[in-house]
Amino acid sequence: MHQSLTKSSEGYGLLAIQGILGILGLTSRAELKAELLKELERYAQSLSRLRQTPSVDVAILDAVLANIGHVTQHLQRLSNQMLRQARKNEFLDALSRRSPVQGSASAFDSPALYHWLHQDYAVRVECLEQWLLPVQPIRDAVELLLRIIRDSAVPDEQVAQQGLFQKTLDSTVPSQLVRIILPDGTPVFPETSGSKHRLSIRFMEQRNFKERPRQCAENIVFRLACCVF
């Protein structure tokens, strides 16, 4: 979404529209705000218990806790009426009824969207920012929670033998998020599968885009973080 706001091509404009429609669709869930507040409170309590840990930088901890408090306050002020008002947009409502928004817009099939995509870049950015403003507290909460989860584990170097890596997981502490980090320019991509007991990663290569990708035969060095908070 951030990149879509800073890119001027039609394709990025479509990505931004798709993202906004998805976000506004989530706001119709009555339990969304309560779930986010519950997670923020849980994270704050868990972090507060770390204060007596000798290796913890108290200044950094206090900054994170203050950020959680700030985000929580803004989210608490967000009323259901404000969310309903955010969804009360005839232009976006008409686009959502054409779900999913197509990968391109023609003047015949989607004249309103086509017209918007060909407005000045500054006009489109202003529209996007106005549409996102009412749901900014939700956006801030989700971004903060994800950042804390990602920072909860330090990536370790691993080797996928002949393109395959398997790891047994602790089912009593299920991972919330798995990070797979490859060096820039690596000519392979990961396919991930698994359960709460096991994680499997296959590194695939696609030398010819007319054919299906294949598991590479070389050993792949990468970094892995199984994040849980």
The per-residue pLDDT for range 138-197, each reduced to its tens digit, is: 999 999 999 999 999 999 999 999 999 999 998 888 888 999 999 998 999 999 998 888
Kindly indicate the confidence band of residue 65, based on its pLDDT and cuts at 50, 70 and 90: very high
Question: Contact at 8 Å (CB) between 101 and 17?
Answer: yes
| pLDDT of amino acid 81 | 85
Q: How far is CA 113 from the centre of its chain?
A: 25
Measure Cα distances from 171 to 78, 157, 167, 176, 180 in Å.
Answer: 36, 22, 12, 12, 20
Give 2-148's CATH code, choosing from 1.10.3900.10, 3.40.640.10, 1.10.760.10, 1.10.10.10: 1.10.3900.10
* Fold matches, 2-148 and 154-227: no
Span 7-48, pLDDT tens digits? 556 778 888 888 888 888 888 887 899 999 999 999 999 999
Span 130-155, pLDDT tens digits? 998 989 999 999 999 999 999 999 99
* Residue with more model confidence, 55 or 69: 69
Kindly indicate the confidence band of residue 5, based on its pLDDT and cuts at 50, 70 and 90: very low
* Residue with more model confidence, 109 or 123: 123
Three-state SS annotation for 21-84: HHHHHHCCCCCHHHHHHHHHHHHHHHHHHHHHCCCCCHHHHHHHHHHHHHHHHHHHCCCHHHHH
The fourth-level CATH superfamily of domain 154-227 is YacF-like domains (2.60.440.10)
| Stated pTM of the model | 0.80
Span 40-63, pLDDT tens digits? 999 999 999 998 888 889 999 999
Residue ranges per structural domain of the chain: 2-148, 154-227
